[in-house]
Amino acid sequence: TESARVAQLLTEVQRLELLVSSTLMLGREQTAECEPTALAGLIDEVADLMGPSLSHRGVEVERRCDELLHASVDAVRLRQAILNLVTNAADAMPQGGRLLIVAEADIAHATVTIAVEDSGPGVPEAIRTGLLDAPASTKPFGLGLGLAVCRDVAAAHGGTLRIECSTELGGARFV
């Protein structure tokens, strides 16, 4: 229907606006404008925004986050980082696959971990550090800015970005 097409176009425009704004902020020293945020809602927003695109690619998404889990975060910037990681995971699975977005609290260390993992080929250990150090891309038309944005967002929240293997899905796990 026409209204469904318009809704999909507006969703894509919103996604592109997030991408452009985060790219323009790259390399600038930024402080996170944090406020208490329900992480399940934030993850749901990203999954809903990307849903049509992921479904079209044959990517099945699972979300795991306690509905009561709140954290003091810059929701706009964190949403962009999760969006970037979801996009990268989908790009790593051109034939479709499974994607998992997890948010967990570590009460003992007063931290929250957010991970995006996939059933794709994974990231060889030899190139993991290089991917996080400087903008680089393995995609034909990629600029490598997505992970740089994620790294900056993590740093603005006092955290780090790391790449692991997904023990559950067998692909990459970006934490």
pLDDT score of 121? 92
> What's the distance, Cα to Cα, between the start and end of the chain in Å?
39
pLDDT score of 15? 59
The two structure tokens encoding residue 139: 């995609």
Selected residue with higher pLDDT from 140 and 158: 158
pLDDT score of 49? 87
Query: Would you say residue 101 has pLDDT above 60?
Result: yes
Chain segment 2-39, per-residue pLDDT in tens: 777 777 667 666 656 655 555 555 555 566 789 999 99
Tokens 């306690």 -> residue? 66
For 108, the 3-state DSSP assignment is helix
Chain segment 118-153, per-residue pLDDT in tens: 999 998 888 777 777 655 445 444 445 678 888 888
Chain segment 42-99, per-residue pLDDT in tens: 999 999 988 888 999 999 999 999 999 999 999 988 998 999 899 989 999 999 999 9
Sequence-separated (6 or more) residues with CB below 8 Å from residue 78: 37, 42, 114, 153, 157
- Please state which of the ranges 71-75, 100-104, 127-131, 166-170 shows the lowest mean pLDDT: 127-131
